[in-house]
Amino acid sequence: MNDSMPDVLGAGETDSDDTPDDSAWWQSSVVYQIYPRSFADSNGDGIGDLRGIIARLDHLEILGVDIIWLSPIYASPHDDNGYDISDYRAIDPVFGTLEDFDLLVAEVHRRGMTLLMDLVVNHTSDEHPWFVESASSRDNPKRDWYWWRPARTGGIGGEPGAEPTNWGSFFSGSTWEFDEASGEYYLHLFSRKQPDLNWENADVREAVYEMMRWWLDRGVDGFRMDVINLISKDPALPDGVIAPDKHYGDGFPHYGYGPRIHEFLHEMHERVFAGRVGRFLTVGEMPGVTVEQARRFTDPARRELDMVFQFEHVGLDYGPSGKWDPRPLDVRELKASFARWQEGLAKVGWNSLYWNNHDQPRAVSRFGDDRLYWAKSATMLATVLHFQRGTPYVYQGEELGMTNVPFGGISDFRDIESLNYFAEAIEELGGEPESVLHSIRHISRDNARTPIQWSDEPQAGFTAGSPWIAVNPNYPTINAQSQHGRAGSIFEFYRTLIALRHTDPVISRGTFELLYPEHRTLVAYTRTLKNRQLLVLANFGNGHLEVGELSDIELPEADAWRTAPTLIDNYPANEGIDNLVLAPWQARVLTRCLR
Ligand code: NOJ
């Protein structure tokens, strides 16, 4: 944390006669994700709430974001912090009331922003009345709303190995829970309290569409759709392949991009959005989606989704055994992934750009250097992302450079995925608690879920009570109060990046070309629109780099770039210094008119 201030220079000329297409208004927008539990607590119960969000909307207005994505605030038993919904039309009392929600929508709109709800319809809570009815008897009319199956042939229900398929859950263990009362199993890709809805059933689909229309009528502007690529399953439910080091089979090929996925999303579009007056946005969260699939999902002509949320770049530091087996990031692989998505969606389709969300550890700790070059690496990562084509997402606290958390023992964690993995790794796989904890500390979702650090007051100004998860102890130095309006802060750097996206069409619509794909620490690419070109240079490391001297690929027109105007730089302007020389974790964007 010994960085000096970044220096932000003028935004350069813009191409004002090149007006963007209003039907794709979100292409020059920036999304801000709120994880309500940890955003701001207005009533001192230690959990963030809607009134807390309303009281902090100035922060977002000043930052300049356009769209707010609100993680779930619906009634829920909170097995998975609200991603297990027991009533789609009620606000959970810990977050407030429908009246508070209406006020939030009005306040967001008054400030010229829009609001996306989180739509979690791959599964419900097991406490949702639909599931309670479905579980009540084998011949209940809602039985078929979920995936119920008998034990596999020859198996005895409830005994190990009798599960209808060998699939492993995202949250450890089998994807099947045995229900003693009816003698059948139900499917849950996530926790056993998150049973999967059966989208083959037309009544399920209609109930979801009706609920979506209800929220749109209430004034929301669209949806971020939770694991929406998992809603179509192969009804035959075949077993998955079991990898050598795994206990369970991989069911993903049978539910990840199922036979009716395009049909369902097109139907949703027609039943919910077609003919509705207004501007709406749909974002599909899609673990495992490929570029080709994403192009199909977001091709406007197909009328399915506006953009995808894909995971390729945040899986690059997973080791051979998956997320709990981390390995260092290879920057060359990161660049290849960026280029694949930029090129693959260049003509048709649209991508979300992100480093952080509520499921990822903090990027500045994961991919940057949160000790010696905290502010430099946070702003470098932001630059590399925000200059790509796509819609950037800022996850709460990212704009302050919030870091991973120095968790102690397992009792410091709250996340079901982390807790289940800990139990499984130790009890079933015989892992050493300290080494299991080591990987959980590094990659756990709880790193992103600690309260926003608003100030250096007790509990970082998040709550007057006792927070549901401990505040990161670095809040006296990393907090919003110390960065607002302070030239050179991470917050002010993000403000400038966001403003640039609004004003500079090269950023939202220019073509992308990756340079130096084989270099281990340099990320360099150009963006070009008509006669304007930007050169983005970023140093992913603690050493100095002389880009003009790199021999593997000649930088076209290096001499012109050496003296070209700077659009943004996370180091102070230094007259007379060669533009192509980069200090540790430096990011610099140059601009030029092509002749
Ligand atoms: C993806 C969400 O982002 C994550 O937080 C949640 O646990 C799963 N889907 C299940 O809903």
Alpha carbon 187 to its chain centroid, in Å, reads 25
Residues 133, 143: Cα–Cα separation, whole Å: 7
Looking at 179, 184, 226, 398, which residue is catalytic?
226
563 Cα–ligand 1 center, Å: 47
Pocket lining: 395 vs ligand 1, CB cutoff 6 Å: no
The 3 state secondary structure assigned to 75-123 is ECCCCCCCCCCCEEEEECCCCCCHHHHHHHHHHHHHCCCEEEEEECCCE
The predicted-structure confidence for 460-499, as pLDDT tens digits, reads as follows 999 999 999 999 999 999 999 999 999 999 999 999 999 9
Please report, rounded to a whole number, the percentage of residues in the chain having pLDDT higher than 90: 90
Q: Is 285 a catalytic residue?
A: yes
Contact in structure between 591 and 528 (CB atoms under 8 Å): no
Contact in structure between 395 and 146 (CB atoms under 8 Å): no
Query: Residues with Cβ < 8 Å from 13, sequence gap 6 or more?
Result: 532, 593
Tell if the pTM clears 0.85, that is, is over it.
Answer: yes
The predicted-structure confidence for 273-291, as pLDDT tens digits, reads as follows 999 999 999 999 999 999 9
Q: What is the mean pLDDT of the chain?
A: 94
Alpha carbon 358 to its chain centroid, in Å, reads 7
**H helix runs in 191-243, sequence order:** 202-217
The three-class DSSP label of residue 495 is: helix
Residue nearest to atom 10 of ligand 1 (CA): 83
Pocket lining: 226 vs ligand 1, CB cutoff 6 Å: yes
Pocket lining: 80 vs ligand 1, CB cutoff 6 Å: yes
Q: Confidence band (pLDDT; 50, 70, 90) for 522?
A: very high
Q: What is the mean pLDDT of residues 79-101?
A: 98
The three-class DSSP label of residue 380 is: helix
Examine the pLDDT at 317 and tell me if it is beyond 70.
yes
* CA atoms within 13 Å, Cβ hemisphere of 418: 26
The predicted-structure confidence for 181-195, as pLDDT tens digits, reads as follows 999 999 999 999 999
Pocket lining: 84 vs ligand 1, CB cutoff 6 Å: no
| pLDDT at 552 (0 to 100) | 56
Tracing tokens 């709303």 back to the chain, one arrives at: 145
Q: What token pair was written down for 412?
A: 């410091």
Residues 340, 543: Cα–Cα separation, whole Å: 27
The predicted-structure confidence for 156-174, as pLDDT tens digits, reads as follows 999 999 999 999 999 999 9
Residue nearest to atom 8 of ligand 1 (CA): 83
Examine the pLDDT at 20 and tell me if it is beyond 80.
no
